[in-house]
Amino acid sequence: MGHKFSLVLSRQITDEESVILREAGFADAAFLSDSLPTNADVAVTKIDFDDTASPTLAEAIETALETVKKVPDLTVPGLSVPAVPKESPADEPPVLVGEVVDEAAAAEQPPAKKTAAKKRSAKKVSAAVQGAGGV
């Protein structure tokens, strides 16, 4: 998986400028016509990246910003990075509800309390799933 992000340039670029950027490292990037996010009347070029060569997202962005400087009078007024889900270690289950259950304490509770705790937990999980768009 690569590092995905987009740069919004300060203006539309020419075909010659596109060639300069592609030869300078944007060969796999997608160049699109767009409008400036702060002013829909201003036509700009948006470049979408899926960088698989850089070890980190920060380095991928820094490289792209440096490459844009190869074209005179071109700046980057916009950067967008899609949200990336945090990965959990393989031995750690994902957390659905922000509640920590002490297994030892739960085992010591009388059966009636265990059942009530399970029902409360099931309701919280159900509410969390529904709030996340499921069920």
Q: Report the DSSP pairing between strands 78-80 and 30-36.
A: unpaired
Cβ neighbours, 10 Å, residue 22: 14
* Helices and strands of the chain, counted as H and E runs: 4, 4
Contact (CB, 8 A) for 46 and 34: yes
What's the pLDDT tens digit per position in 66-125?
Answer: 999 999 999 999 999 998 777 666 666 665 556 666 666 656 666 555 455 555 554 554
What's the pLDDT tens digit per position in 21-75?
Answer: 999 999 999 999 999 888 899 999 999 999 988 999 999 999 999 999 999 999 9
